[in-house]
Amino acid sequence: MGRHKQFDRTEVIEKAMHVFWEKGFASSSLKDIEKATGVFKSGLYSEFKDKDDLFIQTIHHYKQNHPSRKILGRDPLGWENIREFFRLVILSENQFGDYLACIVPELGLLPKRVRSILEESMAACGNDFVKNLKAAGLKKDIQLALDFITTFHYGMTVKVKLEPGEKIEKEIDSYIKLLQSSLK
């Protein structure tokens, strides 16, 4: 008779996510994940096929559970959703910034199946931004606005690791005002 698993799958995914968040996918070893989760390699492999599968599960978990992904869909759509998205994802309590944006610099290092899931997530987030921009009355230069927002998003994800706090929040507000005025 097989042994029953002695761990909570969701808890393991959350703890592994924090390892990937802090160290990146490529730099996270199974030893790091074992240490963070308290689950030995055999237990991890019995629940997840491999490190790639566990990483994919962390991406799905983040998309389903992190409130930032829901903010862009709130009514009424518009600038306030974009502002709140940045406040939440950049000023979150973990001080690592947006999980998915933190993964982007490693895109070339990721296995193909992981890369495609991340690219789908990025595209969905981009579509949500576009809906909010259109609802805010933007009729032209939408792709340019999306490019600006994406660049700001990734840049602030890096910056928050260096100087979290009140200064970042002021930068978010200033950025949104600048974007609004330049895209009228």
Q: Is the per-residue pLDDT at 87 higher than 80? A: yes
**pLDDT at site 1:** 46
Confidence check: pLDDT of 171 > 70: yes
150 & 75 share domain:
yes
| 23-35 pLDDT per residue, tens | 989 999 999 999 9
Q: How confident is the model at residue 142 (pLDDT cuts 50, 70, 90)?
A: very high
Examine the pLDDT at 89 and tell me if it is beyond 90: no
Residue 88 is predicted with a pLDDT of 84
Tell which of 49, 65, 81 closes a domain: 65
Q: Of 11, 39, 65, which closes a domain?
A: 65
Whether residues 40 and 9 fall in one domain:
yes
* Cα angle 35, 39, 42; round to 5: 120
3-state helix, strand, coil in the chain (%, to 5): 75, 0, 25
What total of structural domains would you count in the chain? 2
pTM here?
A: 0.83
Do both 95 and 168 map to the same domain? yes
Residue 92 neighbours by CB under 8 Å, 6+ apart: 68
Is residue 50 domain-shared with residue 72, that is, in the same domain?
Answer: no
For residue 130, is pLDDT > 90? yes
Query: Cis peptide before 76, with omega less than 30 degrees from 0?
Result: yes
Same domain, 56 and 72: no
Same domain? For 54 and 75 the reply is no
What confidence score (pLDDT) does residue 175 get? 92
Domain of residue 47 covers 1-65
Give mean pLDDT, residues 94-102. 74
| Residue 93 scores a pLDDT above 90 | no
Q: Give the per-residue SS3 of 106-151.
A: HHHHCCHHHHHHHHHHHHHHHHHHHHHHHHCCCCCCHHHHHHHHHH
Which tokens sit at 20?
A: 């990937």
Identify whether residues 161 and 100 lie together within a single domain: yes
- Which percentage of the chain shows pLDDT scores above 70? 92
User: Are both 155 and 137 inside the same structural domain?
Assistant: yes
| Mean residue pLDDT across the chain | 87
**Cα–Cα–Cα angle for 160, 67, 176, rounded to 5 degrees:** 50
